[in-house]
Structure 1
Amino acid sequence: MLQTLQRSRTPSGTAYLDRGRGGETVVLVHGVGMRLEAWAPQIDQLAENFRVIAVDLPGHGRSEPLGKPSRLAHFVEWLEKALDEIAAGPVNVAGHSMGALIATGITATAPDRVKRVALLNGVHRRSAAARKAVEARADEIVSGNFDREAPLSRWFSGEESRSEAYALTRDLLHAVDPAGYAAAYQAFATGDSVYSDCWQNVACPALFLTGDGDLNSTVDMAREMAAAAPRGRAVVIEGHRHMVNLTAPEAVNAALIDWLHWEVENDI
């Protein structure tokens, strides 16, 4: 059974969890179809030494929808406003999948807000075939006639289908509001190249992490972004796919804690 974590709400309707008061602030942004509970292993670990803020995407969990066209830039603007309302910043931002695109966007457009950035299973300049497939999926979701469990076969191996991580992800996909899901997926489908040229100008420490079995957020993508960023580093978790933060929480938590100790030049 899905256990819901306690949330607060900003004046504009973003639901968020705020836990831990020591150390720097870490902001966690989940992927399409999920909600902040998808970060549960990271929240528990990181809150021991950091202030952790985890947000529900617009139209997901307890957050209000955007109420505007579904473009990645609107989600980036939403995150900036939410951070203003929570009075958080400058912060360390970690995003998973769609959250990674949003983290890229805020790093590109408001670099003074970001001390460090981490992309988990982030997409970067999809191939033509991959773009066609994800846009077709977006069209299905917008139509309302779609299989909620379709992503599971891509995100998990067959051996993981009986795992707690699989069950949690399946429950989250079934719980998501269809309109909120469709809006975010449209932005996700068209967002992989919006800020893709930013990395050569990103001065802050940048972590790019993925699983070696993730066919959508690939190892090559992570390494390409890391090579472009002056202070970029790629981490590949062997034997895992898209939901690596749930299937390999110890390895991911260790990588994030290491990232949070990377020295920040010209501290903000």
Structure 2
Amino acid sequence: MTLGSSVHLQIRNSRIYYEKSGSGEPLLLLHGGFGTVEDFASQTPELAKHFRVVAFERPGHGHTADTAEPFSFDTMSSYTADFIEALKLGATNLVGWSDGAIIALQVAISRPDLVKRLVCIGGLFDTNAQSPEDLNWIRSLTPESFRKSGSPLIRRYDEVSPDGPGHFPVVVEKTKILWLNEPNITKQELGKISSPTLVMAGDREAIPVGHTLELFKSIKGAQLCIIPGTTHFLLSEKPDMVNSAILEFLATEKKPKS
């Protein structure tokens, strides 16, 4: 499924796949772990009515080949900044989900000049905030157990990855190491974010609600939106509510509180 016209862009040693649709002010979508641009399949058509929507797939995800580097949020954030600069998007609206939300936070901290507004959906800033159950699930994760789960993420990977299905175990191991060790963003770093920010999560989110509240309170002037009756997968569970909240927030020009 293609959500818009697809293109490739060379960044460092990677041929980055991305899709674009709509026109106007730029809006960059950042997908989750093991994800692709299809993570936002229920958002892109609506957002493209109002914005120039761009979504790219990071190395080792979707149509973009993996590299020899380990996964790290610093590297992913750096790729994101390079992507924004390569397309000459300027200060951009960032909408990130899950791992993409973490990347969006890090870009807002390290490159505030590239971020106009920030929407952080289902993100966390400290890996140790995860529940013991989730951490145990990550520790026990294997390519075989993930395949047995029947996750649609595996089907997408097998269908489009230039590395082929045989490379999937490598991606699982790299993701597992990433999730057990990162992110490690401090509240002091969050306090440096100057872009208007919306923190969004489901009320049945895997990330503890207390951690989401800490994230919200740590960013000056941030807004908080909890989507009722949804889990970590709120993008597809209640897309109309998610889309309305995103668009309402992006329509504002509120400045952070001093």
Q: Tell me, yes or no, whether TM beats 0.5.
A: yes
User: In the alignment, which residue of structure 1 is the partner of 2:209?
Assistant: 219
Please say if residues 92 and 117 of structure 1, whose CA atoms lie closer than 8 Å, have aligned partners that are also in contact. Answer: yes
Alpha-carbon distance, 1:99 to partner: 0.6
Cα distance in 2 for residues equivalent to 1:192 and 1:15: 25
Distance 2:196 2:153 in 1: 30
The alpha-carbon distance between structure 1 residues 213 and 174, as it changes in their structure 2 partners (threshold 3 A), is farther
Secondary structure (helix, strand or coil) at the match of 2:191 reads helix
Q: Deviations over 1:113-148 (max 9, x none)?
A: 11111111112334477368437625734xx44323
Do 2:127 and 2:182's aligned partners in 1 also have CA atoms closer than 8 Å? no
Determine which of 186, 196, 207 is the counterpart of 1:205.
Answer: 196
Corresponding letter in the other structure for 1:225:
L
Matching residue of 1:109: 110
- 1:221 to partner: Cα distance: 2.0
Q: 1:8 to 1:129 in 2, by over 3 A?
A: closer
1:14 paired residue among 13, 16, 20: 16
The equivalences for 1:145-184 within 5 A come to 145-148=144-147, 150=149, 171-172=155-156, 178=168, 179-184=170-175
- Which structure would you say has the larger RCO, counting Cα contacts within 8 Å and 6 or more residues apart? 1
Q: 1:15 to 1:181 in 2, by over 3 A?
A: farther
Aligned residue for 1:58? 59
* Displacement after TM superposition at 1:186 (Å): 2.8
- Given residue 18 of structure 2, which amino acid in structure 1 is its aligned partner? Y
Q: Match of 1:231? A: 221
- Does the 8 Å CA contact 2:96/2:121 hold for their aligned counterparts? yes
In the alignment, structure 2 segments of 5+ residues that lack a partner are 162-166
Change (3 A) 1:188 1:92: farther
Question: Do the aligned partners of residues 75 and 44 (structure 1) sit closer, same or farther apart at CA in structure 2, a change above 3 Å counting?
Answer: same
Answer whether contact 2:31 2:37 (CA < 8 A) is retained.
Answer: yes
Distance 1:70 1:123 in 2: 17
Counterpart Cα distance in 2 of 1:226 and 1:26: 21
Instruction: For residue 111 of structure 1, report the CA deviation from its aligned partner.
Output: 0.9
Give the Cα separation in 2 of the matches to 1:151 and 1:28: 25
- Note closer, same or farther for the CA distance 1:182–1:90 as it changes in structure 2 (3 Å cut): farther
Structure 1 unaligned regions, length at least 5? 153-167
What value does the CA root-mean-square deviation take over the aligned residues? 2.6
Equivalent pairs: percent with the same residue?
22
| TM value normalised by structure 1 | 0.81
State the distance in 1 between where 2:190 and 2:130 align: 24
Partner of 2:26 in structure 1? 25
- How many residues get paired? 245
